[in-house]
Chain A
């Protein structure tokens, strides 16, 4: 580059700070939001309009059926007289069955206590301001399940009559299977993920075989095997509870998925984190527990919750091995000839959908909240 000495540029100095000026176009407010998110280009504008049209097309009918034109009181007759709306009295008259299944009527207070404890426990853990949250966590993870088992199943010595697991049902059963699966699959998944990444070939091979086995077969097949094939391998006279088999099947099945999710997180941790921990003299177990896993699990919270939600919904498959979860009970109820009204099946399924959606969406929201809370400012 030639330098022309005659045209030497003048030095320029800016003393003092320039004042902040307002942005030339609004970047906040509803209009700005719509412009940035809905109409930022011709393609997006068309999409927005199409979506809006779709919503306007579907929503009025849906709302009318679910809410405005629905039957909120009366009985079968009211529903029969107005077949163009949901039949909520059906749900009202059957809600106990939906909740408890065929659980002994006189013993349902036991389920009530457990449900209330569960609600309090979950709220306690979810709300950050609560005191003694680690104690609450230990209680909910270790003491509550044992307590819940004795409460649900009963124990003659404690004066609680036995209620066989075949009588458990409804939303209670859904919760039993889903929560056992969730509580068991995360630690199992972490162990399997660590095992698969282990430098010891036998452990790595066993973990890989386990994961690929459970990932490779459908859950329906797992449940069938647990119900029909598994008893064949047991010595005569030994019985193994049907529900327990299903729960173990679900837990192992989802732990394989969980393992792969966690492994993804472990792979995202830079080697420097291991080296930093090792250089400080942390042994393997502590390095994993204090440094690697907290970061790896944080990265894969969306994947973990995804697996939880999948597991929660998959519990409905126990229907095929004659366990009546919420969906099963509702499906059995809509066959009741006393309620043979056209809108009843739709109402039943809509109710199940709403219950499941609320549970799953709550999990999704909570996971977002946790993600934000654990964010420590190393992202830009």
Chain B
């Protein structure tokens, strides 16, 4: 399943000079805990993300990695600890939540495009209704981003008429239309057919090269090796290991990480 990962992002030479990491922290998570009922899903999470950082989170299913990034834009509520996004404290204040969601874009495993709207309308909806942008401007910006994800010709189609890879690229463009400072990717390629994974990864790699702050939950280890400047391994609701990709893959410290890597890289 994971074979040939080293070739997949292909053309991109991991050129770090274009991917500057700033000093300032855009996300800081301190001692965060979350429970589903009695079940402790996230345990003492501490994570700081600097501007321009590209973080890949991996781990076995049920390890809490999706839950963690969904806490960042309040799709899930945490019960203890603090999350601060771009200087805004994430608490029950709806104003703060809305402000954070405007800064943070999210791409889902199942795209979550709006099937009753065209591709263009999917992209212009939030700029028009959340940012109060005039329709003309919103459409112009949407077309720019659709061009960047290389599907401007599909603008007037409905999501149901596109392939999975195209839908995911629309979803990325839709998020970018809000001009977010941070992008969260929740297993963006897991629901795609193998031949479509590359087209989505290529878009994500481009985004990384433009300096976007990204947190990606993914099993695409090739992507992690080329683009990430930090890989986080989670298991059982906690962060087990955190390192630069080269160290992480060549010299994993914890036994659980070694086991996980051997399982996904073995075949």
Contacts and interface: CB of A to CB of B under 8 A. Distances in A.
A374 B126 contact: no
Contacts of A376: 115-116, 158-160
Given A272-B110, A278-B101, A281-B102, A378 B115 contact: yes
Contact of B101 (A272, A279, A286): A279
B129 interface: yes
A377 B158 contact: yes
A294 interface: yes
A290 interface: yes
Interface residues of A, number: 22
Interface string B89-131: 0000010001001101110101111111000000001100110
B163 interface: no
B73 interface: yes
Contacts of B158: 376-378
A272 B160 contact: no
Interface in B167-217: 174-175, 178
Nearest to B104: A279
Contact of A378 (B101, B112, B129, B160): B160
A379 B160 CA distance: 8
Nearest to B98: A281
Interface in A273-295: 273, 275-283, 286, 290-291, 294-295
B161 interface: yes
A298 interface: yes
A275 B75 contact: yes
A275 B75 CA distance: 7
A361 to B, nearest CB: 27
A148 B14 CA distance: 72
A276 B113 contact: yes
Contacts of A294: 116
B174 A280 contact: yes
Contact of A281 (B110, B126, B160): B126
A273 B73 CA distance: 15
Nearest to B103: A281
B137 to A, nearest CB: 17
Nearest to B161: A377
Most B C-beta atoms less than 10 A away, residue of A273, A275, A295: A275
A333 to B, nearest CB: 49
Contacts of A282: 125-126, 129-130
Interface in A251-291: 272-273, 275-283, 286, 290-291
Most A C-beta atoms less than 10 A away, residue of B112, B130, B159, B174: B112
A260 B105 CA distance: 35
A281 B127 CA distance: 10
Contacts of B114: 273, 276-277, 291, 295
A278 B106 CA distance: 10
A280 B161 contact: no
B116 A295 contact: yes
A374 B160 CA distance: 13
B36 to A, nearest CB: 15
B112 A273 contact: yes
Contacts of A377: 158, 160-161
A378 B126 CA distance: 22
Contact of A276 (B94, B112, B160): B112
A20 to B, nearest CB: 23
A298 B105 CA distance: 28
A332 to B, nearest CB: 48
A377 to B, nearest CB: 4
A295 B115 contact: yes
A286 B129 contact: yes
Interface of B: 73-75, 94, 98, 101-102, 104-106, 108, 110-116, 125-126, 129-130, 158-161, 174-175, 178
Interface of A: 272-273, 275-283, 286, 290-291, 294-295, 298, 374, 376-379
CB-CB nearest 9 A-B residue pairs: A378-B160, A276-B112, A281-B101, A280-B126, A376-B158, A279-B106, A272-B112, A377-B160, A378-B115
23 contacts: A272-B108, A272-B110, A273-B112, A276-B108, A276-B112, A277-B114, A278-B73, A278-B101, A279-B73, A279-B104, A279-B105, A280-B174, A281-B102, A282-B125, A283-B94, A286-B130, A295-B116, A374-B116, A376-B115, A376-B158, A377-B158, A377-B161, A378-B158
